Structure 1
Amino acid sequence: MDDFVGIISNRMKDDLIGKDSGTGGKQVIEVPSIYEPEMSFVMFRSQAGEAASTVQIDENQPNQEEQLQQLVDERVKEIKSIAEKVSVELSIIAEAS
């Protein structure tokens, strides 16, 4: 299960932040929104030679790793829920046969 969570985590990091997220040039900041509060963020990239932390960020805001972990946890929970539903359906079909 840990390998599966790692795969999901890496995939989401690549999709949301980009493959070069390990470099200090990209930052993701959560922003308020009336449309999709859970999915509202801004990503920006520093130019070459520019300091990566020139933007002031609220200290109370969770960092990228915490946010990514929350997203991964939600995704794993959804996948487990779907797997349980499929398992129940297969059990019902097997019993009916």
Structure 2
Amino acid sequence: MNIEEHDKNEPFTARILDVMESSTKCAVNLLSKDSIDSESVMEIIARLSIIESRMLMFLACLHQDDIEDAVADIVTEDEIAFMSAAEAYMLDVNRALEGVN
């Protein structure tokens, strides 16, 4: 991958990594709460797992040898909408956890 190709994908890579980091922090925050029932914890962890899996798929696609095709294939309005929805979901979970012990 040359520098020009790397620079073109850097904003997407950074956002993907931010979503993954937020997901991990959300899971750690969730697991630190004693008063949440285990069924709710498992449901949220399952959703966070889906988010992280999909982010890994995006990241792998962005860093294929044929970068132009990968970007065209993966960075669509649907994928960007998914990232936005994932970010909003994690914010909602973290806000809900603020008042929980």
The answer to whether TM tops 0.5 is no
TM-score of the pair, normalised by structure 2: 0.32
The structure with higher relative contact order (CA 8 Å, sep 6+) is 2
TM-score of the pair, normalised by structure 1: 0.33
More helix by share: 2
Q: Whose radius of gyration is greater, 1 or 2?
A: 1
